[in-house]
């Protein structure tokens, strides 16, 4: 369902007002004061988060964002604050960044936080959007969509709940039985709840969901408000994560998950057979980052959308931390293959009505202007997409907190053994490389040689990219795709390709593959290759071997310890190797997947809210192949 923005309006006294729901966003007695009195004090904060490793707040209704800003400010002021504060909030009608900034001008004490929020405000598309602040210690996860759906898809354990929203009489969906039941599902004994509403229906639904609530003195004109807790009131002890992991592989997958774990103060034993990061399948001169929409918004479309947007946020964070990646958000033009696909592309844009900055359809003339070359058809324009140099991203991921990363470069993993509560990495001579309680297999096609991972249908996909000499200001100046891709000029050459050949082990450059890439280039930009490319037998290029999955989705999660289970078996009941995880199957979309799934796996290991919906977590779970027949057909990228 397309996201419809909130419309900024005010009552005569200056209180922000929703014309759609006929209600105010916060008490006329003061929005910031209400946040402190009702939601922070009502959940006994900040005292309950003090000296905790992680504390998670779930809010129904982000609205103006004042509850988040007030909570963030209170966390900053508290010298005994928790290490990491998660704030998870759902919103069906978000404000634009400009409107939020205007709303927050009333509170100059929040100016710095409001600016940071606005700078990192996501493109408003459906789904989960995670943003990191204060060096990753404050994490906002914004769930855009109907709360009845988004909260049902949320995987987390809440410590406190801000039950907010327009009046139950004005917006009953926000206080529905399904919403309240979802809040009970993510709660544990001791989870607190606070709300300004004392409606009998709300009280009844909270009680049915397992919350024990009491009326207390309210704020402003409200005589009473509601506070309570879930279950017996005894707080569930925090899960103690080991914070020490083996990460096998220093490509996009391995360095991404290492970076996300290091930000959580994990120690990493990083093993790679090369003498540095990003030298295998992640060693290409440039790759593409952009989503792949679909009419039905299937898991591939949703994951590439989330992966692209989170990946761009990650690039911005690296730059802010002084580890800039070599990349350019020049835009990606995805031309239609034929008139039939052009019609489908138009239909996707019309149905989903994404923000124009995310995706719009461009007619042939505009597409030609964007490409700087005459093209046959129109297509999708992703204004935020672009190219990334993968090795530079791998390097930047490892520079974040180097003392916590112990590299073992030039060491090749031959076997993994379980020794008590630890995984031990051994080389071909049975010599120990490193050990840790947790092991993560992120070693590309090398995962196929690990005994414990033999159940995973990872296939090797050989890809050859052709390098064409290019002048700095030559066209195209954007990435152009059409059954292949061509990049802008990058350090005197552009990349064109790529081939996709499953179970092909030839590491040498092949003239026939160069010819195939030039044919793709001619299909993308008719006649361009004849003008700009040398003879195929003189072309340079690169060959890489990418781990591919049968369903084009990555494999991320705990590795199954069985080869088969009945089709109806829930994933949670499929046996797994203890503390052994995989992050593989990227195929041709490593740059799109890596940052998001690295964050997803790190969140899972650290016991934190997940950054994607539960059904998407299930869609990439390696156990999906244990209870479903494998479709053997492998496909490349368009």
- DSSP code string of 281-298: TT--S-EEE-----TT--
Per-residue pLDDT band for 593 (boundaries 50, 70, 90) equals very high
Rounded Cα gap, residues 599 and 303, in angstroms: 13
**Which segments of the chain belong to CATH 3.30.9.10?**
327-386+462-544
Per-residue pLDDT band for 630 (boundaries 50, 70, 90) equals low
Q: Tell me what the mean pLDDT of segment 280-302 comes to.
A: 96
Of 501, 474, 292, the C-alpha closest to 382 is: 292
| Rg value, the chain, Cα | 26
Q: Which tokens belong to 452?
A: 């414990």
Rounded Cα gap, residues 339 and 349, in angstroms: 16
Residue 151 has what pLDDT?
A: 98
Rounded Cα gap, residues 448 and 585, in angstroms: 11
Per-residue pLDDT band for 238 (boundaries 50, 70, 90) equals confident
CATH architecture of 327-386+462-544: 2-Layer Sandwich (3.30)
- Averaged pLDDT score across all residues of the chain: 95
**Which segments of the chain belong to CATH 3.40.50.150?**
17-230
Q: Which tokens belong to 270?
A: 């990083």
State the fold for domain 244-280+392-458+550-625: FAD/NAD(P)-binding domain (3.50.50)
pLDDT tens string 18-54: 999 999 999 888 899 999 999 999 999 999 999 999 9
Q: What is this structure's pTM?
A: 0.96
| Residues 278/252, Cβ–Cβ less than 8 Å | yes
pLDDT tens string 556-591: 999 999 999 988 899 999 999 999 999 999 999 999
Peptide bond into 159 cis (omega under 30): no
Residue 29 has what pLDDT?
A: 82
Rounded Cα gap, residues 515 and 417, in angstroms: 45
State the fold for domain 17-230: Rossmann fold (3.40.50)
| Angle in degrees, CA 630, 550, 632, rounded to 5 | 55
Beta strands in 92-191 (DSSP E): 127-133, 138-144, 160-163
Q: pLDDT above 90 covers what percent of the chain? A: 91
Flag whether pLDDT at 414 surpasses 60. yes
pLDDT tens string 467-497: 999 998 899 999 999 999 999 999 999 999 9
| Residues 377/145, Cβ–Cβ less than 8 Å | no
Of 303, 249, 314, the C-alpha closest to 278 is: 249
Torsion of the alpha carbons at 598, 604, 609 and 610, rounded to the nearest 10:
50
Burial class (CB in 10 A: 0-12, 13-18, 19+), 109: exposed
Rounded Cα gap, residues 602 and 288, in angstroms: 24
Of 313, 241, 257, 298, the C-alpha closest to 608 is: 241
**Three-state secondary structure call for residue 622:** helix
pLDDT tens string 317-343: 999 999 999 999 999 999 999 999 999
**Which segments of the chain belong to CATH 3.50.50.60?**
244-280+392-458+550-625
Q: Which tokens belong to 75?
A: 């966390």
Flag whether pLDDT at 637 surpasses 80. no
């Amino acid at each position: 369902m397309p996201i419809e923005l909130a419309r900024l309006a005010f009552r005569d006294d200056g209180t922000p007002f929703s014309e759609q729901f006929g209600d105010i966003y916060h008490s006329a007695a003061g929005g910031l004061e209400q946040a402190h009195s009702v939601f922070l004090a009502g959940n006994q904060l900040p005292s309950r988060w003090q000296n905790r490793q992680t504390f998670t707040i779930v809010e129904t209704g982000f609205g103006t964002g004042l509850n988040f800003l007030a909570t963030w400010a209170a966390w900053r002021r508290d010298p005994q604050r928790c290490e990491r504060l998660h704030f998870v909030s759902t919103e069906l009608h978000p404000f634009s960044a400009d409107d939020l900034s205007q709303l927050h001008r009333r509170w100059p004490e929040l100016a710095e936080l409001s600016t940071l929020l606005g700078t990192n405000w996501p493109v408003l598309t459906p789904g989960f959007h995670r943003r990191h602040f204060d060096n990753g210690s404050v994490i906002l996860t914004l769930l855009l969509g109907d709360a009845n759906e988004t909260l049902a898809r949320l995987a987390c354990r809440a410590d406190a709940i801000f039950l907010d929203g327009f009046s139950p009489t004005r917006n009953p969906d926000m206080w529905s039985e399904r919403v309240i039941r979802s809040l009970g599902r993510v709660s544990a004994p001791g989870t607190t709840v606070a709300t300004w509403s004392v409606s009998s229906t709300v009280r009844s639904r909270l009680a049915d969901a397992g919350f024990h609530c009491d009326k207390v003195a309210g704020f402003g004109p409200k005589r009473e408000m509601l506070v309570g807790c879930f279950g017996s009131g005894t707080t569930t002890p925090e899960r103690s994560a080991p914070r020490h992991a083996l990460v096998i592989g220093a490509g996009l997958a391995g360095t991404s998950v290492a970076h996300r774990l290091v930000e959580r103060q994990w120690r990493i034993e990083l093993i790679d057979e090369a003498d540095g990061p990003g030298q295998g399948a992640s060693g290409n001169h440039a790759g593409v980052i952009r989503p792949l929409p679909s009419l039905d918004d299937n898991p591939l479309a949703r994951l590439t959308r989330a992966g692209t947007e989170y990946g761009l946020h990650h690039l911005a964070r690296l730059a802010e931390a002084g580890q800039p990646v070599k990349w350019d958000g020049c835009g990606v033009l995805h031309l239609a293959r034929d008139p039939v696909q052009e019609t489908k592309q138009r239909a996707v844009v019309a149905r989903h009505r994404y923000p124009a900055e995310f995706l719009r359809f461009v007619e042939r003339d505009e597409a030609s202007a964007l490409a700087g070359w005459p093209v046959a058809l129109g297509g999708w324009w992703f204004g935020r997409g672009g190219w990334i140099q993968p090795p530079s991203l791998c390097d930047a991921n490892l520079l974040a907190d180097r003392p916590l990363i112990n590299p073992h470069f030039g060491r090749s993993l031959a076997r993994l053994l379980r020794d008590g509560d630890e995984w031990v990495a051994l080389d071909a001579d049975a010599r120990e490389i490193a050990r840790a309680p947790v092991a993560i297999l992120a070693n590309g096609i090398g995962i196929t040689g690990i005994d414990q991972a033999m159940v995973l249908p990872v296939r090797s996909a050989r890809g050859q990219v052709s390098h064409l000499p290019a002048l700095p200001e030559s066209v195209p100046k954007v990435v152009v795709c059409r059954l292949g891709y061509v990049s802008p000029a990058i350090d005197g050459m552009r990349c064109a390709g790529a081939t996709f050949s499953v179970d092909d082990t030839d590491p040498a450059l092949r003239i026939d593959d160069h010819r195939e890439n030039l044919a793709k280039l001619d299909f993308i930009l008719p006649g361009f290759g004849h003008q700009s490319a040398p003879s195929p037998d003189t072309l340079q290029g690169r060959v890489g071997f990418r781990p591919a999955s049968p369903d084009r989705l990555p494999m991320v999660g705990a590795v199954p310890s069985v080869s088969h289970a009945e089709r109806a078996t829930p994933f949670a009941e499929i046996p797994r190797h203890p503390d052994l995880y995989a992050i593989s199957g990227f195929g041709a979309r490593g740059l799109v997947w890596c940052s998001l799934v690295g964050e997803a796996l790190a969140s899972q290991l650290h016991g934190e809210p997940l950054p994607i919906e539960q059904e998407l977590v299930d869609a990439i779970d390696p156990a999906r192949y244990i209870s479903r027949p494998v479709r053997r057909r492998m496909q490349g990228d368009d």
